[in-house]
Amino acid sequence: MSRKLNITVMLGGPSAEREVSLRTGAAVAQALRSLGHEVQELDPRTPDWSLRAGTEVVFLALHGTYGEDGTVQKQLEQLGVAYTGCDAESSRIAFDKVLTKLRCIKAGVPTAKFIVAKSAQAPLPENLTLPLVVKPSRQGSSVGLQFVEQAEAWPAALAEALKFDSEVLVEEKITGRETTVGILNGKPLPVVEVRPKTGSYDYNHKYTAGATEYFCPADFDAATTTRIQGAALEAFRAVGARDYARVDVMVRPDGSPVVLEVNTLPGMTETSLLPKAATAAGLTYGELCQQMIDLAMARHEKFKREKTAEPIGGAAI
């Protein structure tokens, strides 16, 4: 039985995903309270926030810019407080879709062919085959996501995506089944398949009840499941992630996986994909939250022990 802790749940924040984060944070706080922890909620909407005295660990329930791009992680590291999820550097890399793609390519992780566009006047890329997916490099929850089926749609799609960032990722649209793989404590959870009832899995389909069907574990044969989970775990490692994340993977008709992106602070509402995968693995929502806290605390305690063991004046000779 884990000991009772003084936990601050950070939720909301200043990003475009604020509303989703508030829902994630409320669900997490309720679960942690039900486990007997002392929980307070903190909304860092402005930069002058401060942690309540006695906070032992921060549960990050933030999404999008500030919460997921390494900024708040860096601040918490400076405060010397334990926090859940990836560190500042891996958060920064994973939040940037272009950096993630480059890491995946270097590590040999399968990913879609792409280019980067930084101007609304950029021409339709000649080396990519339609249809294309256009998305801001540094946003989440499908914010600014555009699809280009015909060449005439390119200028408007590019201009729309550039409203959300100074550069956009343009990649070939992969035809196949859409899946996501949760990683918890370095191990892949059961594969979740996502099937929007109409259109694509955009922001509205993610957060509108009944708009999307979910299947977990997804109905793939054992060999394909292993390939999907393996690609997700390789991507998780390629960006330097730790503790937990969720990796989005397209699966071509031949069963080959193509990694789309790594989400270091995935949604944690009761209907979010990571909790669905954890449930399929036999974990309740509360147990999932507790594991996230346990991983953060274990790392923090280890860091403190190592710090205490360091000899004064530098390394021992």
What is the predicted pLDDT for the residue at 206?
A: 53
In this prediction, residue 226 carries a pLDDT of 98
Q: Domain-by-domain residue ranges, the chain?
A: 6-84+284-309, 101-110+175-264, 113-172
The whole-number pLDDT of residue 142 equals 76
Give the C-alpha separation, 82 to 235, whole Å.
Answer: 25
pLDDT of res. 1: 47
Pairing label, strands 114-117, 168-172: antiparallel
Residue 65 pLDDT greater than 70, yes or no = yes
pLDDT of residue 316: 47
| Cα distance between residue 244 and residue 246, in whole Å | 7
The CATH number of 6-84+284-309, from 1.10.10.10, 3.40.50.20, 1.10.150.130, 3.90.1510.10, is 3.40.50.20
Q: What is the mean pLDDT of residues 65-86?
A: 96
134 by Cβ neighbours in 10 Å (0-12 / 13-18 / 19+) ranks as buried
Active site residues: 17, 141, 207, 246, 248, 261, 263, 267
Give the pLDDT confidence of 121-175 residue by residue, as tens digits: 999 999 999 999 999 998 875 788 999 999 999 999 999 999 999 999 999 999 9
Question: Which range among 99-108, 200-209, 271-280 shows the weakest confidence by mean pLDDT?
Answer: 200-209
Q: For 225-259, write each residue's pLDDT tens digit.
A: 999 999 999 999 999 999 999 999 999 999 999 99
pLDDT for 310 equals: 67
Q: Higher-confidence residue: 32 or 301?
A: 32
Residue 302 confidence class, pLDDT cut points 50, 70, 90: confident
Model confidence, pTM: 0.90
The pLDDT tens digits of the residues spanning 87-97 come to: 999 999 999 99
Fold of 101-110+175-264: D-amino Acid Aminotransferase; Chain A, domain 1 (3.30.470)
pLDDT of residue 198: 61
Q: How many CA atoms lie within 13 A of 77 on its CB side?
A: 12
CATH number for the segment(s) 113-172: 3.30.1490.20
